[in-house]
Amino acid sequence: MKLRQVPLLFFLLLFLASCTLLFPTHFFTNHIYNSTFLFCSYLKSKRIASTTRSNLHLSNTSIWCDRTDHHSDICFMSGDVRTHSPSSSISLYLPPSNPSNWVIKEERIRPYTRKWETPLMDTIDEIILRTASRNDSFHHKCDVTHDSPALVFSAAGYTGNLFHSFNNVLLPLYITSQHLNQHVVLVVCGYRNWWYRKYEEILSQISEHPIVDFSNDTRTHCFPAAIVGLRFHGTLSVEPRRLHDRKSIMDFQNFLRKSYEPNNKRIEVYSKKKNHTPKLVIISRKGTREIENERDVIQVSKKVGFDVEVLSPNETMPLKHIFDKLSKSDVVMGVHGAGLTHFLFMRPGSMLIQIEPLGVADEAWQCFGEPALKMGIRYINYKVNLSESSLYKKYPISAMDTNAMESKKKGWKHTKEVYLEGQNVTLDLNRVKKVLTQAIGDLGF
């Protein structure tokens, strides 16, 4: 696909200009790297000075980086852009005509959206961006020449975790590149085959071109422009006012639908069908935060009137399969955990019931509750009480004062060990019945 330089610059500029209002978030930090846990943000209303438009020199003679955001840096280069993966660098060769305009410059960037988390960011490869004289390009010949700009990012970090795959890579990819209408080449650091296979449908909706594995592919790839790094708008969210075309999380949801159902053009909103048995999908976990009486819960759900399906997502289950189930469900229920990230596949108007174990109220709200509501999904937070939590049996009753249990004073490590790794639930069946009956009522059955 041919992308002319003028519209590209125009889009890039529009994009830059529209992203100057930044609301940083503040986090509680943690010290786990290979985590199967998800870390949510703690929003603060503090606002930082917005970038002024005078910063935006986007010409063929310079590299421009926006480092004002709390979550990620992003750099732009336009002109004669060439990769050199052995040195982890990307060069912008400056035209010889008017050397007085040259800005010789070097920038370094780790293209991952958790900039504030130093120990993790140290594991992300650093990319060097530099300007150089066109004369030097003689020794750096193009092996592959692309017509579309490059989008360079890291698929490492916490990408093994589904929540982080969406929150820190896929959604930021969408935010950063949707305006390019697939005319973009994804240049991936920390590329892994399993990652590509798992998210193939989504990645091929983002870009119509084959992916470049930056670490392994040592050929020189040449581009008319490059965006290095990804934008981040908040936990599983898209902020319309930060995109020039006012796209929202609903547009991302339609984008997912297009990924998994390419022939379905319609925006599907939930509506109750006549003579239809409401469908409940239980997202099941094993080992930790497990519903110990899941069988009984299924029985009760059936009695309330649901057609029940239990889904135990794992690494190998195709996302398309999960999409098919959740996008046709009326209610999805599950205990707080990365598996709930699949709520992104639900239709607006359908219902998510999050079972919130002790001690993870903030995470439950930040990771799933609030994002689900923003997506137009009905939401019930089922907070387990003491007698429903396995912690009740494990810890002395005095320590079980809910307030004390839920205080974050002991930090993330404590939260992880006690509440996330160390807790199962046994749901009170009367309460389950009540909540599901309410769900059926709310949906209009």
Residue 34 binds ligand NAG (CB under 6 A):
yes
Out of 149, 172, 224, 339, the residue judged to bind ligand NAG by CB under 6 A: 224
Residue 220 binds ligand NAG (CB under 6 A):
no
User: To the nearest whole angstrom, how small is the minimum distance from the Cβ of residue 240 to ligand NAG?
Assistant: 31
Residue 292 binds ligand NAG (CB under 6 A):
yes
Residue 73 binds ligand NAG (CB under 6 A):
no
User: To the nearest whole angstrom, how small is the minimum distance from the Cβ of residue 28 to ligand NAG?
Assistant: 19
User: To the nearest whole angstrom, how small is the minimum distance from the Cβ of residue 368 to ligand NAG?
Assistant: 21
Residue 33 binds ligand NAG (CB under 6 A):
yes
Closer residue to ligand NAG, CB minimum distance, 23 or 196: 196
Residue 386 binds ligand NAG (CB under 6 A):
yes
The interface with ligand NAG within residues 407-426 (CB under 6 A) comprises 422-424
Stretch that binds ligand NAG, among 67-75, 164-172, 282-290, 349-357 (CB under 6 A): 282-290
Tokens of 78: 């336009």
Stretch that binds ligand NAG, among 245-253, 274-282, 285-293, 370-378 (CB under 6 A): 285-293
Residue 261 binds ligand NAG (CB under 6 A):
no
Q: H/E/C letters for each residue in the chain?
A: CCCCHHHHHHHHHHHHHCCCCCCCCECCCCCCCCCCCCCCCECCCCCCCCCCHHHCCCCCCCEEEECCCCCCCEEEEEEEEEEEHHHCEEEEEECCCCHHHCCCCEEEECCCCCCCCHHHHCCCCCEEEEEEEHHHHHHCCCCEECCCCEEEEECCCCCCCHHHHHHHHHHHHHHHHHHHCCCCEEEEECCCHHHHHHHHHHHHHHCCCCCEECCCCCCCEEEEEEEECCCCCCCCCCCHHHCCCCCCHHHHHHHHHHHHCCCCCCCCCCCCCCCCCCEEEEECCCCCCCECCHHHHHHHHHHHCCEEEEECCCCCCCHHHHHHHHCCCCEEEEECCHHHHHHHHCCCCCEEEEEECCCCHHHHHHHHHHHHHHCCCEEEEEECCHHHECHHHHCCHHHHCHHHHHCCCCHHHHHHHHHHCCCCECCCHHHHHHHHHHHHHHCCC
Out of 30, 133, 299, 381, the residue judged to bind ligand NAG by CB under 6 A: 133
As a whole number of Å, the end-to-end CA separation of the chain is: 49
Residue 387 binds ligand NAG (CB under 6 A):
yes
Residue 404 binds ligand NAG (CB under 6 A):
no
Out of 314, 396, 441, 444, the residue judged to bind ligand NAG by CB under 6 A: 314
Owner of token pair 């820190």? 168
Out of 36, 68, 88, 288, the residue judged to bind ligand NAG by CB under 6 A: 288
Residue 385 binds ligand NAG (CB under 6 A):
yes
Out of 69, 73, 80, 370, the residue judged to bind ligand NAG by CB under 6 A: 80
How many C-beta neighbours within 10 Å does residue 430 have?
9
Closer residue to ligand NAG, CB minimum distance, 95 or 349: 95
Closer residue to ligand NAG, CB minimum distance, 373 or 386: 386
Residue 135 binds ligand NAG (CB under 6 A):
yes
What lies within 8 Å, CB to CB, of 151 at 6+ separation is 173, 176, 177, 180, 184, 185, 186, 187, 207, 226, 227, 230
Residue 96 binds ligand NAG (CB under 6 A):
yes
The interface with ligand NAG within residues 323-382 (CB under 6 A) comprises none
Residue 287 binds ligand NAG (CB under 6 A):
yes
Closer residue to ligand NAG, CB minimum distance, 240 or 318: 318
Out of 45, 100, 275, 316, the residue judged to bind ligand NAG by CB under 6 A: 316
Footprint on this chain of ligand NAG (rule: CB under 6 A): 5, 33-34, 60, 79-80, 95-96, 133, 135, 213, 216-217, 224, 287-288, 290, 292, 312, 314-317, 385-387, 390, 422-424, 428, 431
